[in-house]
Structure 1
């Protein structure tokens, strides 16, 4: 799993780490059942404190994307399939919008207007 943080991002580091893991899952780098590297490894690779990574992983567990299992580490939850499916639908929406002459910003405004 190759994760990167944007140094220009002003969000708290734990949110950035969580976002990077979410993207890896959504992009298919991690499939349901795959193990996530240990927090210390991720922290070292990202250049952040291990507690920052643990906070991010706990948030993702609370969202249902990750499962913590004693003796088995942290794995991608089966529910992560839904996120991948949603990502495919978003890509289709962007492609349909482009075909009809709508840009991403216009699509985002449409989505914001949906109750």
Structure 2
């Protein structure tokens, strides 16, 4: 088992979800100024403001998806990987990605999260 990472207890009921979260969170918590905040509904990664969020759809609906990651960027990114892209504020595009396997956490996904971190600093 790999080293625990802050916030993984949010996914304690699902070993697959916990492993996926760990793979996503590990590179983010190493970034300068990143704070992890755990609430009842999600794990938020913040710099000056939130830039990425991990949550478990099973909390809200019947779903076989272990983890959804939402990444806040100042522009829309087009990719078939996004389940949904929302535009909740003039300066924010929220990109939602369903993660079913640890392998879904790849350079592309972490790259988007790091772009979001850059804009949240």
Fold conserved between structures, TM > 0.5: no
Q: TM-score, normalised by structure 2?
A: 0.30
Query: Scaled by the length of structure 1, what TM-score is found?
Result: 0.31
Higher strand share: 2
Larger-gyration structure (1/2): 1
